[in-house]
Structure 1
Amino acid sequence: MDNHSQNPHILMIPYPFQGHVIPFVHLATKLASKGFTITFVNTESIHHKITKSQLSSSGVLPAGPNKHDIFAEARKAGLDIRYATVSDGFPLTFDRSLNHDQFMEGMLHEFSAHVDDLVGKLVKTNRPITCLISDTFYVWSSMIANKYNLVYVSFWTEPALVFTLYYHMDLLKTNGHFASPHDDYNREDAIDYIPGVETMDPKDMASYLQATDATTVVHRIIYKAFEDVKRADFVICNTVQELERKTISALQQKQRVYAIGPVFPAGFTKSLVETSLWPESDCTRWLDSKHHGSVIYISFGSYAHCTRNDIVEIAHGLLLSRVSFIWVLRPDIVSSDQSDPLLPPGFEDEIKGRGMIVPWCCQIAVISHPAVAGFLTHCGWNSTLESVWCGIPLLCFPLLTDQFTNRKLVVDDWRIGLNLCDKMPIAREEVARKISRLISGKSADEFRKNVKAVKAELENALSGDDGGSSQKNLNQFIDDMKAKIKKKNAGL
């Protein structure tokens, strides 16, 4: 076996959002720790945001996009991870959030040319790449892999349940639950025909599958991406086999799918690699001053937006609950051009000593603190897995994409949390009532017991070097990938 097949050089490209970058970084360090050479690629925009967040306190930014290497500490620890950036086709000053559809059109039509240019250079080096691990949402992966004779691995960073619903969009469409021929509605009765999926309510599908307009740029990306993923050599998922056994088994009848999650840094500590897009506030001293199990943590992730009314009602609900809290309020949580105050007049005076409001923080550091008893969350998959790992029940407020399906897993399947509001719009009295149910009384005890059981599944999956299911699946994937690379190198 030649050196390249023994020790392949893998190119990894996450989708340019923090929720995708984080599991890609964790997977890169995990694979590098097993002896692989990794070249990790961020867009210049994501790289600039990470760099700016790290260096904002000094007021000094690097002169160029590659001057700050986010994997420098990982290399000092002995990991062979190289770092590159690629243009997404837009200038750094372009507001991707405010101009979402224009940005997505660029990702659909233009981005692949920049990736192609980069890959073309990397395959000509003295250590050529032999494998591409790209985000499932990219539409160009098979084209790039075929052009440069690379093994193509699709990395799905969300639950297998969400993957399989997208994978079977044709069935949803045929049955009228998605992209119905009727202009203004889809079927609302239960879905009972997706392989490996128990009967489910359409409201529990990803937001894009609930939409009545299925012609948007995001839908066109999803259509193309899920045609492309069917050409992948392997699909790896950031989930646990025991938690989604039927769904994964059904998918494995179609393709080589491996559940390797949760993809966390070793020991669930702060990663060696910086991935934060905003400067992080240190909440430790404030949390140290609070009683064990007395604080609720609130964050709606790095990307999704909510309305000003949502913020106001949650704020009033917190006042009514009289519970201590840390609330992450991103500067662009409503809109990147938001200038009016978000919080009710006098709110910050009323919560002095009881509440802490920060623009961003190290989430792992907060939810692993013994003072934290619950998490009011948008139900992003990273946040969900991290909360389970820390034994923290969830109060669910899904806003976008997979978050509605994640809510179903949390509330209906695993019973480790509850909905923030059963009907829209949000009402402050219900917010206060649900916060109380989450962190105190009989229901809170039940949530903690259930989350402990789900946490055990995660721990068991990652146990030992070859004991748990995720470790076994990762090792099997590595063996299969190496064999496939060897075949490609041999021209078979």
Structure 2
Amino acid sequence: MAESIKPHAIMVEFLFQGHINPFANLAIGLASKGCTVTYVQTEFIHNQMSQASQNPGFLFSTARGSGLDIRHKTISDGFPLDFDRDLNFDEFFSSIVRDFPTRVDELVGRIVRTERGRDTSTFLVADAYYTWPPEVAVKYNLVYVSFWPSPAERLSVGHHLALLEEKGTPITYDNYKDHIEEITEVVKSKNIGDVIKYSSPRDAPFCPEILMETIMKAHLQVRKAHFILCNTVEELEPHTLSTLNQKQYLPTYAIGPTSLLSSTLAPVSSLIPEVDCLEWLSSKPPRSVLFIAFGSIAPVEKNVIREIAHGLATSGANFVWVLRPDMVINEENDDVLPPGFEEEIVGRGLIVPWCDQRKVLASPAVGGFLTHCGWSSILESMWFGVPMLCYPILADQPNNRNMVVCDWKIGMNLCDEQEISRREVEEKIKGLMRSGNEVRMEMKKVKELVHNALGQDGSSHANMNRFLSDLKKKMCMMEK
């Protein structure tokens, strides 16, 4: 392919908040490297963003204003805007698996036909949790790039377990000890049982079975990608990345953290209206505030909320707590906090339904982060150097927690016991917020490592350039 031909990425966004930020920022990263980008999202998600934003303009208006070539298209997910996708999740996601691929196929076909004859070469970029991209890429003779939004270890573990399932040896929480030799080479965690339990469609708590089955299939489909862009840092997972490339034959490039590629051009991508916490935070001493957030979809049991609340009350720590309206199943937020709690924490506690997590973590007042261990949250915590208290809930979160606590030592378990207790919550909060502790010192090292990776001489920057070079070679081969 001649150097004058411009790569054109058709990027199809996934449906969950935690996937959107890193994917949208990847679009900016590719456009910054000279690619044309057509960014595709569902009409529903675009509508939610417009309603949530105080400036509901074009998603990439700032990036376009700086000269980047990013186009934007919306596509129906098959349901009207007022359809409750959360309440009817199985019906909604079944349609996404069954019917949505046809809509994407038609859109990709139109774009490819429009681009034909121009000085461009089109490739497909899609979130790895979609299972349809390989077929669409083959149909239109496109290079397929899979974006893996989680750590490389989760990709390696999930792919290995999916292969065993395909071969007729499904690993479950009940039988994993009988197959321990088959999985220990890939699953390095000290808590293998947790990893298996939260990876199996049969065992995973809180996670709809149809979603877990799709994720398991996605772990197999990803091997059909020409390239995998992984939202991680090479220095954090060198052994796993080497295993993926050499033993599992998955061509993986560590280019993360993508959600922090650009602070000035980043799109507005929140699906929930945000409360500004910065004025309140500015009134607090440095590193005195604990930030508490469990992501956009993870459910939390009522007794867990109450034990955390009691522990907060007796810890004496200042805090910002994101308490989503839908976070506790079948409960209104007015009913989940202990009686008298809000009166007890006046002046040192702020409870909000949603906020800009990056702005909060960037505040000098924040000294700790109680998190569900979603991967985007972990990367943001690393970037801003905020040590973590870990309370994983579903999906890849236990695996992520194990790396945070055991491998990198930049966080602590909130709950070491079988059941969470207010006494342990109080003790762990006090331990985390104490200045000069080992976790805080290790986080300083990891913060520097992650910042260096995105620098001009860093590994993520180099891996992005290497990917683009390999991409052009591959497209050139496929066009002959």
- TM-score norm. by structure 2 comes to 0.92
1:70 aligns with 2:59: yes
C-alpha separation in 2, matches of 1:172 and 1:318:
44
Pairwise CA distance, 1:428? 1.2
Alignment partners' CA distance in 2, 1:411 and 1:106 = 38
Kindly provide the CA deviation profile for residues 115-174 of structure 1, in whole angstroms up to 9, marking residues without a partner as x. 112112111224676101101111100111011111100110000100011111156559
**Contact 2:233 / 2:255 at 8 angstroms: preserved in 1?**
yes
What do the CA deviations read for 1:263-293 (whole angstroms, capped 9, x no partner)?
A: 13346x3653110111111111111100111
TM-superposed CA distance for 1:179, in Å, is: 4.0
Moved more, 426-435 or 120-129: 120-129
- The structure-2 alpha-carbon separation of the partners of 1:203 and 1:46, relative to structure 1 and needing over 3 Å to count, comes to farther
Distance 1:219 1:313 in 2: 29
Q: Give 2:145's aligned amino acid.
A: V
Take 2:465 and 2:197, find their aligned partners in 1: how far apart are those partners? 34
CA separation of 1:30 and 1:209: change in aligned 2, threshold 3 A: same
Distance in 2, Cα, partners of 1:151 & 1:385: 28
Q: Does the 8 Å contact 2:160/2:186 carry over to 1?
A: no
Partner of 2:140: 148
CA distance in 2, matches of 1:73, 1:353: 37
The answer as to whether partners of 2:369 and 2:381 remain within 8 angstroms in 1 is: yes
Tell me the residue number matched to 1:252.
245
Structure 1 residue 427 corresponds to structure 2 residue 421 = yes
Written as runs of structure 1 = structure 2, the 5 A alignment for 1:6-155 is 6-55=5-54, 68-126=57-115, 130-155=122-147
Structure-2 residue corresponding to 1:242: 235
**5-14 vs 293-302, which deviates more?**
5-14
Q: Deviations over 1:306-328 (max 9, x none)?
A: 11221111111110111100001
Match of 1:281 in 2: 275
The whole-number CA distance in structure 2 between the counterparts of 1:353 and 1:177 is 56
SS at match of 1:49: helix
Deviation at 1:411, TM superposition (A): 0.5
In the alignment, what sits opposite 2:432?
438
Q: What's 1:450 paired with?
A: 442
Paired amino acid for 1:12: M
SS of 1:85's equivalent in the other structure is: strand
Unaligned runs of 5+ in 1: 62-67
Deviation at 1:340, TM superposition (A): 5.4
Shift of 1:302: 1.0
CA 1:314–1:293: 2 relative to 1, 3 Å = same
CA RMSD of aligned residues (A): 2.5
The one-character-per-residue Cα deviations of 1:72-108 (angstroms, maximum 9, x if unpaired) are 2210111111111112222222222222222221221
Matched residue SS, 1:8: strand
Quickly say closer, same or farther: Cα 1:207–1:93, change in 2 above 3 A: farther
Is the CA contact 2:11–2:124 (under 8 Å) kept in the aligned structure 1? yes
Amino acid in structure 1 at the alignment position of 2:149 = T
Which residue of 350, 370, 385 corresponds with 2:379?
385
State yes or no: 1:303 paired with 2:297.
yes
Question: Identity of paired residues, percent?
Answer: 47
User: CA separation in 2, counterparts of 1:124 and 1:338?
Assistant: 50
Residues 155 and 235 in structure 1, CA contact (< 8 A), matched pair in contact too: yes
Maintained 8 Å contact 1:207/1:402:
no
State the SS of the aligned residue for 1:392.
coil
The equivalent position to 1:471 in structure 2, one of 447, 451, 461, is: 461
Residue in structure 1 matched with residue 260 of structure 2 by the alignment: 265
1:196–1:246 contact (8 Å) kept in structure 2:
no
Alpha-carbon distance in 2 for matches of 1:78, 1:352: 47
